[in-house]
Amino acid sequence: MIGFLRSAPLADATHLVTAFRQGLKEASYIEGQNIVIEYRSAEDEYDRLPALLADLVRQQVALIVTNTPSALAAKAATTTVPIVFVTGGDPVIGGIVASLNRPGGNTTGVSFLSGASGTKRLELLRQLVPKAAAIAMLVDSNPNIPQAERERRDVQAAAHAIGQELIIVEAGSDRDIEAAFATFAQRGAGALFVGTSAFFNSRRDRLAALTIRHALPASFVLREFATAGGMMSYGTSITDAYRLAGIYAGRILKGEKPAELPVQQSTKFDFVINLRTAKALGLEIPDKLLALADEVIE
């Protein structure tokens, strides 16, 4: 039995569950045939994670699959049950593992390095809207996301170096998101940079719709935002990261030790442009940006 735990809602993660099952299948495990998966979500209420983990440990799961916030909670909950994490940050800086090559302890996983693309995303956004006097930045208000904090610092430093004004607003609830967009409109933001966050990922349809309603060209980290109607995305694949986590889970079920499985890192960054959204916003995408895109949604 495997425990699959997310801090964010499972309803918005069906593609991640599918990718994880695909990885398990590649390792010869098929849900309902030779493996059972127990799904749990804290529904963005981080203080629920310890109780959810205690329940999984009580059920004697063979391993626990987690996202970033639940990985840290899982580490605190057990030193014996193997943990396979999927994180958008650096798991060493985030305190999840001691080293990438030799994670040590009962934890290993996959990092898709979402926070690492921040400065490049800012540069691409500025190429799209070079005349924007101010660029809005929406960041997750939860303090327990190291990659989001690092991304924020990197983007602030990059903006400062080129004299770009940033309007930074934190959000941790649906009400906060609505209020943030009102602030961006009031302060005349010409574009929006949406920070790395599992919470934002679970609200991607809402965020994409708000950017169109407020006529704000926006940059996101995951392809899923662009397919939901976001203007553009630049980053690695979270779905592929969950597939790799499935393969690792299978290897651990077969007897390999998490401590000896190096943390895998995504290295391929994809740039996706949604032309439909560009048309809805009345934006002309420069040819040089279109030429850089790995995928164009028409």
pLDDT digits (tens, 9 = 90+) for 39-93: 999 998 999 999 999 999 999 999 999 998 899 999 999 999 999 999 988 899 8
Residue 169 pLDDT greater than 80, yes or no: yes
- Backbone angles phi and psi of 93, in degrees to 5: -60, -35
pLDDT reading at 253 higher than 90: yes
What's residue 117's pLDDT? 84
- What value does the mean pLDDT take over residues 92-108? 92
Please state which of the ranges 98-107, 114-123, 215-224 shows the lowest mean pLDDT: 114-123
* Predicted pLDDT at 266: 81
1 — pLDDT class (breaks 50, 70, 90)? very high
Confidence of residue 174 (pLDDT cuts 50, 70, 90): very high
Q: pLDDT tens for residues 266-288?
A: 878 899 999 999 999 999 999 99
H helices within 165-230, ranges in order? 174-186, 198-201, 204-213, 223-227
What pLDDT, in 10s, does the model give residues 113-157? Answer: 876 788 999 999 999 999 999 999 999 998 767 778 888 999 999
- For residues 46 and 72, give the distance between their C-alpha atoms in angstroms, rounded to a whole number: 11
For range 175-197, the mean pLDDT: 95
| Structure confidence at residue 260 (pLDDT) | 93
pLDDT > 90? residue 204: yes
User: CA 221, CA 27: separation in Å to the nearest integer?
Assistant: 29
List the helix and strand counts (H, then E) for the chain: 12, 13
Q: Can you read off the two tokens belonging to residue 176?
A: 């906060």
pLDDT digits (tens, 9 = 90+) for 11-48: 989 999 999 999 999 999 999 999 999 999 999 899 99
Write out the residue limits of the CATH 3.40.50.2300 domain(s) in the chain. Answer: 2-113+237-265, 115-235+270-297
Q: How high is the pLDDT of residue 268?
A: 80
* Rounded Cα–Cα distance for residues 137 and 125 (Å): 12
Q: Which class does domain 115-235+270-297 fall in?
A: alpha beta
Q: What is the pLDDT of residue 88?
A: 86
- Structure tokens given for 215: 């006529």
Would you say 167 and 134 are in contact if contact means Cβ atoms under 8 Å apart?
A: yes
Whole-number CA gyration radius for the chain:
19
Contact in structure between 8 and 232 (CB atoms under 8 Å): no
Mean of the per-residue pLDDT values of the chain: 93
- Given this model, what pLDDT does residue 221 score? 92
Q: Are 142 and 171 in contact (CB under 8 A)?
A: no
Q: In the CATH scheme, what is the code of domain 2-113+237-265?
A: 3.40.50.2300
Res 216 pLDDT > 80: yes
